[in-house]
A and B are shown apart, each in its own frame.
Chain A
Amino acid sequence: MKKFKFLALSAMTSTVMAFTAACGGGQDAGKDEGAADQKQLQGNVAMDGSSTVFPIMEAIAEEYMIEQPNVQVSVGVSGTGGGFEKFTKGETDFSNASRPIKDEEKKAAQDNGIEFEEFKVAFDGISIVVNKENDWVDHLTVEELKKMWTSGAVSGNDKVKWSDIREGWPDEEIKFFSPGHDSGTFDYFNEVILEEKPLNKTAQLSEDDNVLVQGVAGDKNAIGFFGFAYYLENKDKLKVVPIDAGNGPVEPTHETIQSGKYTPLSRPLFTYVNVKSLKEKAQVYDFAKFILENGAEFAEEVGYVALPEEQYQEQLKKLEGLK
């Protein structure tokens, strides 16, 4: 219902588009009709940044170029940090990020005279998962998470046993699986759970989340974390752990992530836009508008969680104010 209401609120063209897309077949015909009313733009839109945000932007760019075939949108995957490095030099129009911009990145932008604006595109819920056969973990508190993942938190030893975390749990060593240090997912986990303390040294790191899925699915004593989309795709192989941040255990679901009830591991995904490009290039403005109008639908399609619809509306207003 929410989705439908949002569609009704959206601009005429996007309503036609999204509605026909929801119906499945014959969507291209509908899109062409919608596009016919619009001014045809041309030029380039350069986007780079987080690999987490990439699937959403790929979907948006793909649909946008059906509507505006003369606009050439390119989306890179340099990672959140790598994206900002280029963005703050004015080399890209958009920079996708799975964490907010850091102070030193802001400063770099300032030094180069780059003005930017932040937009939220969707939510992701970092999901803590254990093996299917793990029948003892019913939930974990944030404190327990901190205790097991932080290096040396249990008697100065990185070999943590389940029994060290809660009484009655088996006397077996926990196997940790974590995304690599370059990923925004790790950055976020580092910030809210580890609080910048070093990660347990026995953890196996991988930049490829599919490797983490395999690792946790293959070891009874394993625990790992990664984006919600990877959990959704591998639901049958893994068991998700509800997280208790003081208000009772909450499982990551579409609703709890969107409402913010799944805390502290639900995080917003951003795109940053160069204000100068926005003002000078009509196609950049149009693409930014397209992101906010259709972000909800495409985020859901690729496995993320849409923002509440008011937030898209608010951001659209903010965008109009920038023109």
Chain B
Amino acid sequence: MEKLVDKQKVVQNMMGRIIKNNFFKFIFFLSTLFGLIVLVVLLYRIFTQAIGWLDADFLQNFPSRRPERAGIKAGLVGSLWLMVIVAPVSLILGVGTAIYLEEYAKKNRFTDFIQTNISNLAGVPSIVFGLLGLTIFVRELGLGRSVLAAGLTMSLLVLPVIVVAAQEAIRAVPNQLREASYGMGATKWQTIYRIVLPAAIPGILTGSILALSRAIGETAPLVVLGIPTFIAYLPNGILDTFTVMPMQIYNWTGRPQEEFQHVAAAGIVVLLVVLIFMNSIAVFIRNKFQKRY
């Protein structure tokens, strides 16, 4: 009887595929490893430099010419104030825009045009937003170098990212859910509020947290606005001047004295901790709302 299966041929053919499979597995593993190694080296450098400099005094002191007395209090509080403006403004405007574009707006050339521009805005250099903010908020509206002016500028900067992320999330909600809701006699708003938004929240939050993380780490637009670097007092309201952590860190890394490099590293650690804290809040909320359809 003739053999129906030529074992040797099978082995020959399979070997090629298995090798290919292993090759790609190896390549993808390497790319993951590359990012991880860079991250580990970065964290190692920062933490070893920050050790001994990051203490309670560092969190409670204002900037100083003496590295051992320099602290991040003004920057830390300033960054949190900035978030008080940026988070609600960019979320409300961003999610609002996304709901309009996805649920209400008719698909025509005009909405296509808006859509393209929003995506393009996400790629505009941050310094351009700084110039925009300087002209409109600082000068025209006379807000000065305040938390409000900087917060609105940063909101504009991160808005496109939030809009696009929120749109994707809303689009991902299965249409059957909407149909069912309408079928039960719900209005459009009831459907959005009760059905679409809860289902989209995990996705919206993922995009928003990336956007807010960017806002808290940006320096360039604030430099353009003229936000000061040295401040030894805290803002009392949204119309006061302030400073933020990245500006402090940037200033410290440029100083000639080597001790300031350690101060900068300590500042970076504080910034990282704030970021991780923000991210974990988002993960928490996301898990709470997560449902799979």
A in complex with B: yes
Q: B65 contacts A209, CB within 8 Å?
A: no
Which residues in B have their C-beta under 8 angstroms from that of A86? 226
CA distance A72 to B231 in the complex (A): 8
Chain B stretch 256-277: residues in CB contact (< 8 A) with chain A? 256-258, 261
* Residue contact B65 to A298, C-beta cutoff 8 Å: yes
Q: Is the CB of B230 within 8 A of A57?
A: yes
Contacts of B88 in A (CB 8 A): none
Q: What is the distance, in angstroms, from B269's C-beta to the closest C-beta of chain A?
A: 20
A117: Cβ under 8 A from any B Cβ: no
- Whether A229 and B64, one on each chain, are in contact in the complex, defined by CB atoms closer than 8 angstroms, is no
Q: Are B256 and A54 in contact (CB under 8 A)?
A: no
Most buried by B among A77, A207, A234: A77
How far in angstroms is the closest Cβ of chain A from B133? 14
Binds B, one of A58-66, A128-136, A278-286: A58-66
Let me know if A303 and B256 touch, CB within 8 A: yes
* Contact indicator B226/A59 (Cβ below 8 Å): no
Residues of B within 8 A of A227 (CB): 256
Q: Are A209 and B254 neighbours in the complex by a CB distance under 8 Å?
A: yes
Set of chain A residues within 8 Å of B62, measured between Cβ atoms: 62
Q: Is A204 an interface residue (CB 8 A)?
A: no
A293 within 8 A of B: no
CB atoms of B228 and A58 under 8 A apart: no
Q: How far is the CB of A178 from chain B (nearest CB, A)?
A: 16
Cα A88 to Cα B140 in complex, Å, equals 16
The answer for the CA separation of A62 and B145 in the assembled complex, in Å, is 20
Query: Quick one: which of B139, B230, B256, B261 contacts A75, CB cutoff 8 A?
Result: B230
Are A209 and B251 in contact, CB atoms less than 8 angstroms apart? no
Give how many A residues have a beta carbon under 8 Å from the other chain's beta carbons: 39
- Taking the complex as formed, is B153 at the interface, i.e. its CB lies under 8 A from any CB of chain A? no
Per-residue CB contact flags for chain A residues 68-84 toward chain B (1 = under 8 Å, else 0) read 00001111111000100
A137 interface contact, C-beta 8 A: no
- Is B65's CB under 8 angstroms from A59's CB? yes
When distances are taken between beta carbons in the complex, the residues of chain A under 8 Å from B227 are: 76
- What count of chain B residues pass the 8 Å CB interface test? 28
Q: Are A74 and B231 in contact (CB under 8 A)?
A: yes
In chain A, residues 224-272, which have Cβ atoms closer than 8 Å to a Cβ of chain B? 227, 229-230, 232-234
Q: Are B232 and A61 in contact (CB under 8 A)?
A: yes
B179 to chain A, nearest CB (A): 56
Q: Once bound together, how far apart are the Cα atoms of A302 and B243, in whole Å?
A: 22
Residues 57-85 of B contacting A (Cβ, < 8 Å): 62-65
| Cβ contact within 8 Å between A62 and B256 | no
Q: Which of A46, A209, A301 contacts B256 (CB 8 A)?
A: A209
Contact of B253 among A46, A75, A208 (CB under 8 A): A208
A55 to B257, CA, bound (A): 11
Q: Is A200 interfacial (CB-CB < 8 Å)?
A: no
- Residue B233 at the chain A interface, CB threshold 8 Å: yes
Measured in the bound complex, the distance between the Cα atoms of B261 and A76 in whole Å is 20
A144 at interface, CB cutoff 8 A: no
Residues of A close to B167: CB separation below 8 A: none
A164 within 8 A of B: no
Residue in contact with A55 in the complex, picked from B228, B247, B255, CB distance below 8 Å: B255
Contact indicator B230/A48 (Cβ below 8 Å): no
Query: Which residues in window 1-53 of A have CB below 8 A to B?
Result: 44, 46-48, 51
Is the CB of B241 closer than 8 A to any CB of chain A?
A: yes
Bound complex: CA A77 to CA B249 (Å): 13
Asked whether B229 is an interface residue with its Cβ less than 8 Å from the other chain, the reply is: yes
Q: Which residues of A contact B232 (CB under 8 A)?
A: 61-62, 65, 72-73
* Chain A residues, Cβ within 8 Å of B180: none
Q: How far is the CA of A195 from the CA of B53 in the complex (A)?
A: 45
A100 CB, nearest partner CB in chain B, Å:
22
Q: Is the CB of B226 within 8 A of A62?
A: no
Taking the complex as formed, is B285 at the interface, i.e. its CB lies under 8 A from any CB of chain A?
A: no
Among candidates A77, A89, A209, residue contacting B229 with C-beta atoms closer than 8 Å:
A77
**For residue A59, which residues in chain B have a CB less than 8 angstroms away from its CB?**
65
Partner of A58, one of B65, B223, B261: B65
Q: Mark B130-148, 1 if CB is under 8 A from A, else 0.
A: 0000000001000011000
A interface with B by C-beta (< 8 Å): 44, 46-48, 51, 54-55, 57-59, 61-62, 65, 72-78, 82, 86, 89, 91-92, 207-210, 227, 229-230, 232-234, 298, 301-303
Sample of 5 A–B contacts (CB below 8 Å)? A54-B229, A61-B232, A62-B65, A62-B230, A82-B224
8 more contacts with CB within 8 A, not counting A74-B145, A77-B228, are: A44-B241, A58-B65, A58-B229, A61-B230, A61-B232, A75-B231, A92-B226, A302-B65
3 A-B pairs with the lowest CB-CB distances in the bound complex, closest first: A74-B228, A75-B230, A59-B65
